[in-house]
């Protein structure tokens, strides 16, 4: 039982360590699951150790060379922080100003729209009044004209029976600018009493005067109406232009506000990062040696602890994998599907707990009015003023909600458009970087091939030059040896001809004797003369038979010499031609090789330049991608802040508007009641409808 408790505790600790348990693993052997989890931990600890060692090696390298880099980084950060702070202050001031301008523009636009609505209402009432006036005036003028025509034609009796006569009677009752005498005359005419003496001339004059007066009044009213229409059209055009201008200004400032707020987020993040890095760099530079020593000690301690942990895990795995332990586990654990302990809490329980915390909160509304009305001494004028102030406040709040809703909607649209544009830019930059890398790789292969070709070409040129040199030396040697052989053979032939063919013999040119040669010859002659003069020669020995020349044999030898000389001459001619052709081919090869080398060298330069340009483009695209990604992150953060700022208002805008409208209606009704209005009939009708 104690062993099972230890297993439960071990499983609990492993689960708390972050190991995930799937349904498949729960169905497996629990001990095998534990061993697998321990092995996974062992692998993870080993990987973490390798990663930590790699980071430690980099850190120690930084300890050796980091002071100069830290000083440079600190100087740059110290110069950057105040500049970014100033930019942030400027951006915040600009945002404040833009918000104030937006609020002013929105208020001005709302006022302009309100003025347009009010002017339209007034104009509609004036138009209705003019239409009624014109209709009445036209009817009155027509009645007067008909009465005048009837009197002039002597048909006054029949006219008095018409509706126009009745209309004329009604007109006289409301016409106050008519003289009493004229009124009596017209009234007597229309009454047609027995005591009335016909006076057609006077009646006609009065009627015409009345007609002229009414026509003049109608013309004046028509002129006033036309003037009012023109003024209204001018006012509406000016207000419409003002509304359009304000709307354009609102849109432009909202765009600027959105961009500035995104830039502000970026600058604040940049300032935070730079400030944090500056503090870290200063702190690190201040105790670089101590930090490096501490890191070394920490690394040694971590390695020791990790080694101990690996030993512990290995021992545990060994214990759990032992055959005796496995047999014991089979007996101690009833089924593979049994769970050690229920660690997870149901989401439903968490939801009920959270719901219990949230419930019970109430928000009082208009309590000050209730307190005021419940007081013993009620001053209705103060309450009415409070109601008016509250209604005005509610209208201002509603206008603020309207402006905020417009601001949020436009900012969401602008931010979403900007986000999509930035995402497209990031995607395009990624494609450009990938394309540039492909181009760089292709150019690198081409450059390697060209450089290898130039090396091979240089080797071929060197080998061809060495071969040409050897061939030329062989040619010189051959020509020298053949020339010497020809000279010797010619001398031999000439010597044979001297004996066998004297006519063909060519005497060698005489050599001029020097003084020494002549003296030697003279001495020799003297000696011979002296010897011949004093010494007698011995008798001659026996001689052979008479000599006969072997002319025929000599001819064969000479012919063979000629043949040999011809062969040598032919060989020299062929060697000269081959030397000439070989030299020409060599020069052509050298020229072609030089041209190819120049072309390949130029191609290498061009491709190296293109490769460098692609690398620069890839670096620029990478930097631009990083900057664009940073702007995208700031935009996403700004959109998130917009959601935090606007979602609640947009979600409950209509509810708030309806509640505020109802509240204003209730306050208006309360004000009317306090002002003395009687709603008892309304209440009675409501009661009757309710009872029905």
Q: Report whether pLDDT(682) > 80.
A: no
* pLDDT band, residue 543 (cuts 50/70/90): very low
**Mutual angle of helices 200-286 and 551-674, in 10-degree steps:** 130
| Under 8 Å between Cβ of 639 and 261 | no
Q: Report whether pLDDT(258) > 60.
A: yes
Mean per-residue pLDDT, 365-394 = 62
- In this predicted structure, what is the pLDDT of residue 492? 76
Of the listed ranges 42-56, 97-111, 629-643, 658-672, the one predicted with least confidence = 658-672
Q: Which residue would you say has higher pLDDT here, 446 or 38?
A: 446
CATH class as words, domain 365-506+554-681 = mainly alpha
CA distance 418 to 635: 8
Q: Report whether pLDDT(164) > 90.
A: no
Mean per-residue pLDDT, 388-410 = 86
Q: Which residue would you say has higher pLDDT here, 158 or 47?
A: 47
| Under 8 Å between Cβ of 457 and 596 | yes
Output the six-digit token pair for 160: 């008095």
| Under 8 Å between Cβ of 16 and 40 | no
CA distance 571 to 489: 15
- Over its C-alpha atoms, the chain yields an Rg (Å, rounded) of 63
| Under 8 Å between Cβ of 635 and 419 | yes
Output the six-digit token pair for 536: 């007698």
Q: Report whether pLDDT(358) > 60.
A: no
C-beta atoms surrounding 140 within 10 Å: 22
CA distance 90 to 132: 62
Residue with tokens 């700031």: 634
Q: Report whether pLDDT(371) > 50.
A: no
Q: If we measure between CA atoms, which residue out of 370, 364, 387 comes closest to residue 666?
A: 387
Output the six-digit token pair for 113: 């729209």
* pLDDT band, residue 151 (cuts 50/70/90): low
Of the listed ranges 9-18, 303-312, 323-332, 604-613, the one predicted with least confidence = 9-18
| Under 8 Å between Cβ of 666 and 387 | no
* pLDDT band, residue 577 (cuts 50/70/90): very high
- In this predicted structure, what is the pLDDT of residue 193? 45
Residue with tokens 């293109």: 610
| Under 8 Å between Cβ of 517 and 524 | no
* pLDDT band, residue 238 (cuts 50/70/90): very high
Q: Report whether pLDDT(306) > 60.
A: yes
- In this predicted structure, what is the pLDDT of residue 139? 80
Q: Report whether pLDDT(241) > 70.
A: yes
pLDDT digits (tens, 9 = 90+) for 320-355: 677 766 666 565 555 444 444 443 444 334 333 333
* pLDDT band, residue 476 (cuts 50/70/90): very high
* pLDDT band, residue 365 (cuts 50/70/90): very low
Q: How many CA atoms lie within 13 A of 364 on its CB side?
A: 6
The one-character DSSP state at 17 is: T
| Under 8 Å between Cβ of 218 and 84 | no
Give percent above pLDDT 90 in the chain.
11
- Give me the chain's average pLDDT, please: 74
CA distance 641 to 604: 54
Q: Report whether pLDDT(312) > 90.
A: no
Which residues, at least 6 apart from 668, have a Cβ–Cβ distance to it below 8 Å? Answer: 387, 391
Mean per-residue pLDDT, 493-503 = 74
C-beta atoms surrounding 176 within 10 Å: 6
| Under 8 Å between Cβ of 632 and 419 | yes
Q: Which of 293-302, 308-317, 666-675: highest mean pLDDT?
A: 293-302
Mean per-residue pLDDT, 91-120 = 90
- In this predicted structure, what is the pLDDT of residue 29? 58
Which residues, at least 6 apart from 187, have a Cβ–Cβ distance to it below 8 Å? Answer: 169, 172
Q: If we measure between CA atoms, which residue out of 250, 258, 263 comes closest to residue 90?
A: 263
Q: If we measure between CA atoms, which residue out of 130, 133, 161 comes closest to residue 146?
A: 161
pLDDT digits (tens, 9 = 90+) for 58-101: 887 877 776 777 788 888 888 888 988 999 999 889 999 988 98
pLDDT digits (tens, 9 = 90+) for 409-423: 888 888 889 889 989
Of the listed ranges 4-13, 274-283, 479-488, 622-631, the one predicted with least confidence = 4-13
| Under 8 Å between Cβ of 49 and 303 | yes
* pLDDT band, residue 233 (cuts 50/70/90): very high
- In this predicted structure, what is the pLDDT of residue 559? 79
C-beta atoms surrounding 284 within 10 Å: 19
Output the six-digit token pair for 528: 């011979």
Per DSSP, the three-state class of 511 is coil
Q: Report whether pLDDT(535) > 60.
A: no
Q: Report whether pLDDT(573) > 90.
A: yes
- In this predicted structure, what is the pLDDT of residue 566? 87
- In this predicted structure, what is the pLDDT of residue 424? 92
Sequence ranges of the domains in the chain: 2-332, 365-506+554-681
| Under 8 Å between Cβ of 440 and 611 | yes
* pLDDT band, residue 530 (cuts 50/70/90): very low
Output the six-digit token pair for 669: 């009704």
DSSP string across 149-171: HHHHHT-HHHHTTSHHHHHHHHH
CA distance 284 to 369: 63
Mean per-residue pLDDT, 482-509 = 77
Q: Which residue would you say has higher pLDDT here, 522 or 79?
A: 79
* pLDDT band, residue 231 (cuts 50/70/90): very high
Q: Report whether pLDDT(1) > 90.
A: no
CA distance 461 to 458: 5
Per DSSP, the three-state class of 108 is helix
Q: Which of 10-14, 517-521, 551-555, 608-612: highest mean pLDDT?
A: 608-612
Of the listed ranges 361-365, 397-401, 452-456, 590-594, the one predicted with least confidence = 361-365
At 55, phi and psi to the nearest 5? Answer: -65, -40
Biggest CA–CA distance in the chain, Å, is: 227
CA distance 103 to 476: 104
* pLDDT band, residue 23 (cuts 50/70/90): very low
Mean per-residue pLDDT, 433-440 = 90
Q: Report whether pLDDT(359) > 90.
A: no
Output the six-digit token pair for 675: 């002002």
CA distance 305 to 48: 12
Output the six-digit token pair for 132: 């009624």
CA distance 93 to 605: 53
Per DSSP, the three-state class of 569 is helix
- In this predicted structure, what is the pLDDT of residue 267? 87
Q: Which residue would you say has higher pLDDT here, 48 or 15?
A: 48
Q: Using H for helix, E for strand and C for coil, what is the string for 400-434?
A: HHHHHHHHHHHHHHHHHHHHHHHHHHHHHHHHHHH
| Under 8 Å between Cβ of 119 and 232 | yes
Of the listed ranges 84-93, 150-159, 351-360, 629-638, the one predicted with least confidence = 351-360
Mean per-residue pLDDT, 134-141 = 81
The one-character DSSP state at 510 is: P
Of the listed ranges 17-26, 121-130, 292-301, the one predicted with least confidence = 17-26
CA distance 580 to 587: 11
- In this predicted structure, what is the pLDDT of residue 441? 92
* pLDDT band, residue 511 (cuts 50/70/90): low
Mean per-residue pLDDT, 586-597 = 90
């Amino acid at each position: 039982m104690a062993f099972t408790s230890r297993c439960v505790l071990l499983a609990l600790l492993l689960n708390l360590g972050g190991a995930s348990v799937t349904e498949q693993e729960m169905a497996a052997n629990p001990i095998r699951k534990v061993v697998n989890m321990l092995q996974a931990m062992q692998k993870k600890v080993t990987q973490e150790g390798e990663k930590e060692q790699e980071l430690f090696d980099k850190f120690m390298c930084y300890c050796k060379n980091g002071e100069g880099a830290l000083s440079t980084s600190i100087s740059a950060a110290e110069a950057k922080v105040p500049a970014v702070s100033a930019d942030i202050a400027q951006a915040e001031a600009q945002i404040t100003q833009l918000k104030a301008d937006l609020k002013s523009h929105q208020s001005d636009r709302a006022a302009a729209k309100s003025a347009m609505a009010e002017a339209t209402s007034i104009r509609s009432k004036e138009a209705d009044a003019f239409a009624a006036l014109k209709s009445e005036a036209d009817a009155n003028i027509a009645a007067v004209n008909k009465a005048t025509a009837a009197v002039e034609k002597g048909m006054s009796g029949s006219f008095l029976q018409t509706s126009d006569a009745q209309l004329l009677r009604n007109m006289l009752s409301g016409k106050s600018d008519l003289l009493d005498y004229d009124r009596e005359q017209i009234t007597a005419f229309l009454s047609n009493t027995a005591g009335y003496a016909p006076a057609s001339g006077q009646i006609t004059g009065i009627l015409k005067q009345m007609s002229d007066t009414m026509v003049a009044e109608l013309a004046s009213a028509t002129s006033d109406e036309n003037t009012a229409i023109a003024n209204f059209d001018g006012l509406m055009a000016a207000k419409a232009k003002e509304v359009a201008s304000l709307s354009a200004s609102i849109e432009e400032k909202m765009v600027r506000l959105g961009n500035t707020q995104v830039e502000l987020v970026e600058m604040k993040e940049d300032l935070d990062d730079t400030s944090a890095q500056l503090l870290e760099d200063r702190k690190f530079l201040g105790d670089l040696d101590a930090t490096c020593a501490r890191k070394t000690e920490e690394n040694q301690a971590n390695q020791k602890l990790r080694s101990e942990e690996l030993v512990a895990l290995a021992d545990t795995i060994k214990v759990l994998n032992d055959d005796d332990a496995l047999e014991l586990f089979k007996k101690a654990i009833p089924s593979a599907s049994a769970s050690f302990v229920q660690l997870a809490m149901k989401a439903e329980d968490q939801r009920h707990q959270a719901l219990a915390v949230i419930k019970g909160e109430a928000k009082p509304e208009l309590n000050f009015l209730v307190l005021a009305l419940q007081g013993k001494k009620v001053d209705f004028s103060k309450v009415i003023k409070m109601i008016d102030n509250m209604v005005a406040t509610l209208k201002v709040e509603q206008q603020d909600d309207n402006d905020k809703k417009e601001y949020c909607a436009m900012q969401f649209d602008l931010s979403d458009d900007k986000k999509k544009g930035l995402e497209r830019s990031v995607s395009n930059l990624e494609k450009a970087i990938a394309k540039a890398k492909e181009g760089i790789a292709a150019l690198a292969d081409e450059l390697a091939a060209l450089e290898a070709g130039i090396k091979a070409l240089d080797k071929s040129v060197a080998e061809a030059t060495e071969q040409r040199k050897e061939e030329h030396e062989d040619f010189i040697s051959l020509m020298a040896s053949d020339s010497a052989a020809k000279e010797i053979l010619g001398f031999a032939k000439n010597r044979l001809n001297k004996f066998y063919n004297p006519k063909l013999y060519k005497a060698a040119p005489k050599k001029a004797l020097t003084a020494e040669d002549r003296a030697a010859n003279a001495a020799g002659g003297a000696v011979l003369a002296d010897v011949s003069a004093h010494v007698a020669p011995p008798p001659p020995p026996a001689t052979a038979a008479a000599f006969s020349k072997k002319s025929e044999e000599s001819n064969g030898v000479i012919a063979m010499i000629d043949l040999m000389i011809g062969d040598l001459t032919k060989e020299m001619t062929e060697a000269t031609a081959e030397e000439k052709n070989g030299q020409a081919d060599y020069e052509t090869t050298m020229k072609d090789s030089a041209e190819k080398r120049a072309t390949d060298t130029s191609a290498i330069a061009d491709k190296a330049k293109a490769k460098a340009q692609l690398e620069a483009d890839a670096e620029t695209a990478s930097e631009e991608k990083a900057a664009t990604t940073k702007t995208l992150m700031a935009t996403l953060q700004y959109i998130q802040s917009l959601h935090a700022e606007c979602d609640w208002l947009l979600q409950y805008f209509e509810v708030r508007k309806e509640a505020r409208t109802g509240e204003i209606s209730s306050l208006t009704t309360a004000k009317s009641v306090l002002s003395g209005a009687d709603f008892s009939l309304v209440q009675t009708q409501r009661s009757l409808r309710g009872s029905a």
